[in-house]
Amino acid sequence: YKHGVRNAVATLGTTLSQNQIKKMWNLSDKPYICFDGDQAGLDSAKIISLKVLKFLVPGKSFRFIFFPNEHDPDSFISEKSKEEFMFLKDKSKDLSEVIWEGLLESINDRTPESLAFLDEKINQISKTIVDKKVSIEYLRFLRSKKDDYFWRRKQTLDIKSRKNNHDFKTNINNLMLIVFMIFDEDYLTEFQEEISSIKLNDNFLEQERMKILE
């Protein structure tokens, strides 16, 4: 309050009752929740995000402000400034994003079994929401996030695979060049100028190239 944020209230703990949730919605359609930046605070935010789901109705939700590990809301605004606090507020995450990130953390690998488990968790979370319209939209949102995530991951793996393949071909070509330089004197004589002007990426092969040229 003394730093100019005058629409805040303490939870006196790290939980919220149904009554508190509905009272906050009487004051704001999307209240902001901000706990400590340590692991306990992060865990509390995840617990609250799951608890709120049941009571969601169209137009009502929550957003979550996350602090650096060494700060709680009071220490951050006291040590930094109201402006920096508001900057974190602008970067806050919507309830749906916090739910999705929690789901993603619940799977240890990307096997078909884990994907099936993730689908099951998405269905369970959606069914938690009493309001049918919001429940359907959450089901669509979370399934879309899952599809996008694994599509992007597949693309990343494909790019890495193509890069590794390119690197492999490059190394083979460099090695072949060294072999020709060693065993084909005519080749070396004919293309000495071109061979002298290039530089190989592999340090060992580059040193061999220089030795042969010398």
**Alpha-carbon torsion (124, 127, 130, 132), positive or negative:** positive
Task: Write out pLDDT tens, residues 35-82.
Answer: 999 998 898 899 999 999 999 999 999 999 999 988 999 999 999 999
Q: How would residue 129 be classed by pLDDT, with cut points 50, 70 and 90?
A: very high
Strands, sheet with 63-64, edge to edge from the N-terminal-most edge strand? 32-33, 63-64, 93-94
Using alpha carbons only, how large is the chain's radius of gyration in Å?
29
Q: What is the pLDDT of residue 193?
A: 78
- CA distance linking residue 80 with residue 133, whole number of Å: 41
pTM of the model: 0.68
Taking alpha carbons only, the member of 129, 133, 108, 132 closest to residue 118 is 108
Task: Return the DSSP state at 38.
Answer: S
- Partnered with residue 32 across adjacent β-strands are 63
Residue 137 has what pLDDT? 94
Per-residue CA distances from 210 to 70, 90, 179, 213 (Å): 54, 57, 13, 5
Average pLDDT for 83-89:
94
Query: Which pLDDT does position 166 carry in this prediction?
Result: 56
Whole-number pLDDT of residue 106: 80
Give the pLDDT confidence score for residue 153 in this predicted structure: 59
